[in-house]
Amino acid sequence: MSSDSDRDKRGVSAVPPSPHINWRDNNVPESVLYGDIYYAPENGLAESQHVFLEGIGAPGIWTDRDHITIGETGFGTGLNFLATWHLWRKTAQKDSCLHYISTEKHPLHRTEITRALSPWQSLEDEIRTLLSHYPDNPLQELQGYQRFQFDEGRVTLTLCVGDCASQLSRLTSQTGCVDAWYLDGFSPAKNPDMWCDAVYQQLGRLSAPYARLATFTAAGHVRRGLTAAGFHMEKSPGYGRKRERLIGRYQPNVTSITDNINPADSNRRTTPIHAKRRYSHSEKPWFHLSSPLKSGARIAVIGAGIAGLTVAHRLKQQGFHPEVYDQHDHVMSTGSGNPAGMLDLYLTAGDSLGRKFGLRAYLYALRHYGQLAQHNKGEEIFRRCGLVKIPKDEKQADILGRVLQQNLLPPTHLQQANATHIQQAGGPETPPFDPVLYLPQAGMLFPHNIGALLSTDIPVKLKNRITMLQEMTLNSDCSDDVNLAGNNTDNENKQWQLIDDSGTVISCVDAVILTAGAEAIDLTQAEHLPVRISRGQICIIPASQSKPDQQHILSGKGYVLPPLNNNDRDMPYQVVGATYDKLPDHPRPLPTEVTKTGQTDIASRLRNIAPHIHFPPSPSAVDKETAGATIAGRTSVRAYLPDHMPICGPLPIKAAYQQAYAALIDGKKGPVYPSAPYYKGLYVMAGLSARGLTTAPLLAEILTSLIFGTPPPVEDDIVQALHPARFLIRDIRRGR
């Protein structure tokens, strides 16, 4: 039998064990694995309200806050979450946000949750909404961190599937992001893994100053363990047959508690409890986060492609009022501007971080676009038409074969394609390589409709090219005040001026998010990022020249999307693609010419999967954007990084990094280091490469959580794999 850590290390392919539920009287679920019940048989909801909600001081704890983060050990049936959400809906400020993060080693099946929660009609709406997002096959589909959003993005649930201590240890947080904890394992005697020092240490690490804690147990060793981890604990009356329970606060440097200590409850993020310190090599301070932005901060987003608009939309959902700038006269004009693209699962070999990120991004995008489509009454956003994936060569055939064997996802998401799937995708009777996969949930995205929807109610300032970002100190002359030792990051009085190509200051903001695609590196602060570009062309053919009854996407070395009948063209058409030409330099302006060579390239990519498609396509299909040209299509660029992962996070100051971490030269482990020197209030999300439509939603969620100090939707290793400083550190290590 494998240990928890073995299983967790395998990450994406681990399937957690089933909890084996036995139903006691009154529908009370009991775990056969642990020999204990999920909640008090008298009334689980009343227990949850008394022990946990009252235990942390809800609703008073959140009524004057614009966001609150509650952590839980043991999600179980979700009852504590639902009770919290229900009360929060009734009592929280308008426009405030609830983040709920919970660990669970044995996710229950949807039918088990439905049955367990059936007694509580008062939670009916929350239960229905949770279940509508909860996967059909949680044991296969829920692995590692999974994020769900409700109430137009104001309520965020992060379910961390796996062992509690191990999952919490993967949560990125430098300043402590959790405001209150519910400790809800099975009884300490039956479930010792949830009541041990490894868990308590993580609770302390992740706690905001004065974070509250509540649990049903009053066990002496739990109290002592939590006290040792920095919590001030006391006993209080329990629920039902339990005489006592524990409540507490995180106060690591305080030996006695007074009831009126509450200085940091409402503004904790500006009141760090730990003094500034130096870090050891194992703490990887170069990846530490910058201080969170204050609520009410003015934020500018540069670039109105999928990255910029998705981030801006998410900021808006969280109560901010971002302004977006783009040099062109319409949104989604550059890399993101194809008439349609694929929401597809990118599969790499092995259990790499790339695969883990790709899988998380895919599942998150399915939920994200599904929700957008559900709330959108206008143009089509996402068509869940299914995708047939034919290996492009032997190497990919091997990868897809292994993916099938590993049961990476349940058949509702991933299965071996049969002849009908391939035929309905317009594919060949005899595919060139095996196995062919069928992804029933994948589909087509419509970037222009998505752009219009995301930018609703957001000021998008078009025809504004930002050529310079200038940091200024308030109440003093404008100057570039970056301190090369990186010590300026806590100075609260910095702002950024946005300067356009005429040299005019067009805005002054607290923070800037750079989502400028291939052109992000044109701004001085980002010029050290090793962004590379590839040219990509698609062709547009009349559906009559292909298979007009094609239902699924056909994907291989090239791809063919099912027919579209959009208003912007006279006849049904199909998008086929795409070329991928690495460009050795950084041409400006970026290439947009649709070429015959590109068309020939696409034709050769499709030859063995869609030989029925005839090139050149009929001139009647000429795209409006290329009117006058003889080839119907579109060309733009993809920005990518040498390791093919995007960049997402705070923007490092190159010279300060080289100075701060010089001791790492030639792979050495230096003694101690300062924290990471960033440009205060400057963030970047770029290099989305060939999958930006698919990955932008998860990246935007990661970025906004890093900016505001809320729990990220992915584990620490993924946050670090996306960190913009990874190339600087690599170069310092290599002595470059």
Ligand X SMILES: Cc1cc2nc3c(=O)[nH]c(=O)nc-3n(C[C@H](O)[C@H](O)[C@H](O)COP(=O)(O)OP(=O)(O)OC[C@H]3O[C@@H](n4cnc5c(N)ncnc54)[C@H](O)[C@@H]3O)c2cc1C
**Alpha-carbon radius of gyration of the chain:** 26
Cα–Cα distance measured from residue 639 to residue 334, given in angstroms and rounded to the nearest whole number: 11
Q: Does residue 391 have a cis peptide bond before it, meaning omega lies within 30 degrees of 0?
A: no
**Residue placing its CB nearer to ligand X in the complex, 16 or 687:** 687
- Over the window 192 to 231, marking each residue x when it contacts ligand SAM by CB under 6 A and - when it does not, the resulting string is -xx-------------------------------------
Q: Could you give the string, one character per residue 526-555, with x where binding to ligand SAM holds by CB under 6 A and - elsewhere?
A: ------------------------------
Task: Compute the least distance from the CB of residue 201 to ligand SAM, in Å.
Answer: 15
One DSSP character per residue, 55-78 reads TTTTTHHHHT-SEEEEEEE--TTS
**Binding partner at 251 among ligand SAM, ligand X, none, C-beta below 5 to 8 Å by kind:** none
Q: Which spans of this chain sit near ligand X (rule: CB under 6 A)?
A: 302-308, 325-328, 333-336, 338, 341-342, 465-466, 515-517, 519, 522, 536, 538, 577-578, 636, 638, 686, 688-694
Task: Mention every residue, 6+ apart, whose C-beta is less than 8 A from residue 84.
Answer: 52, 53, 58, 70, 98, 100
Of ligand SAM, ligand X, none, which one does residue 104 interact with (CB within 5 to 8 Å by kind)?
A: ligand SAM
How many residues interact with ligand SAM (rule CB under 6 A)? 22
Question: In the complex, what is the shortest distance from the CB of residue 580 to ligand X, in angstroms, rounded to a whole number?
Answer: 8
Residue with smaller CB distance to ligand SAM, 108 or 560: 108
| Contact positions with ligand SAM (CB under 6 A) in 144-173 | 163-164
Q: Which of ligand SAM, ligand X, none does residue 164 bind to, with CB < 5 to 8 Å depending on kind?
A: ligand SAM
> What does residue 704 show for φ and ψ, rounded to 5 degrees?
-65, -35
Nearest distance, CB of residue 28 and ligand SAM, angstroms: 11
Cα–Cα distance measured from residue 576 to residue 231, given in angstroms and rounded to the nearest whole number: 60
Bridge partners (DSSP) of residue 577 are: 538, 559
Q: Residue 215: which H helix or E strand, with range? A: strand 207-215
Binding mask 406-425 for ligand SAM (x = CB under 6 A): --------------------
Q: Which stretch binds ligand SAM (CB under 6 A): 102-110, 253-261, 567-575, 688-696?
A: 102-110
DSSP per residue, 107-158: PPPHHHHHHHHTT-GGGHHHHHHHHHHS-S-HHHH--EEEEEEETTTTEEEE
Site for ligand SAM, residues 20 to 49, rule: CB under 6 A:
38-39
Picked from ligand SAM, ligand X, none, the partner binding residue 175 (CB below 5 to 8 A depending on kind) is none
Q: Which is nearer to ligand X, 61 or 516 (CB)?
A: 516
Instruction: Say if CB 80 and CB 48 are below 8 A apart.
Output: yes
The nearer residue to ligand X, 273 or 699, going by C-beta atoms, is 699
**Which of 88, 148, 150, 186 touches ligand SAM (CB under 6 A)?**
186
**Can you tell me which of 76, 138, 431, 451 binds ligand SAM, judged by CB under 6 A?**
76
CA distance 318 to 312: 10
Residue 255's φ and ψ, nearest 5 degrees, are: -95, -25
CB 360 within 8 A of CB 144: yes
Could you tell me if residue 678 is left (phi over 0), alpha (psi between -120 and 50 degrees) or otherwise beta? beta
Q: Which residue has the tokens 């093919």?
A: 644
Asked if 16 interacts with ligand SAM (CB under 6 A), we say no
Q: Residue 359 binds which entry of ligand SAM, ligand X, none, with Cβ cut-offs from 5 to 8 Å by kind?
A: none
Q: How far is the CB of 383 from ligand X (least distance, A)?
A: 13
Of 113 and 698, which CB lies nearer to ligand X in the complex structure?
A: 698
Q: What is the DSSP string of 376-409?
A: --SS--EE---EEE--SSHHHHHHHHHHHHTT-S
Q: Is the peptide bond before 530 cis (omega within 30 degrees of 0)?
A: no
* Other CB atoms within 10 Å distance of the CB of residue 659: 15
Closer CB to ligand SAM, 192 or 587, in the complex: 192
Phi first, then psi, for residue 122 (nearest 5°) are: -65, -20
The minimum distance between CB 116 and ligand SAM, in angstroms, equals 7
Nearest residue (CB) to ligand SAM, 215 versus 488: 215
Q: Segment near ligand SAM (CB under 6 A), from 183-191, 200-208, 234-242, 296-304?
A: 183-191
| 303: partner contacted, choices ligand X, ligand SAM, none (Cβ within 5-8 A by kind) | ligand X
Report the interface residues with ligand SAM, using CB under 6 A: 19, 38-39, 74-80, 103-106, 163-164, 184-186, 191, 193-194
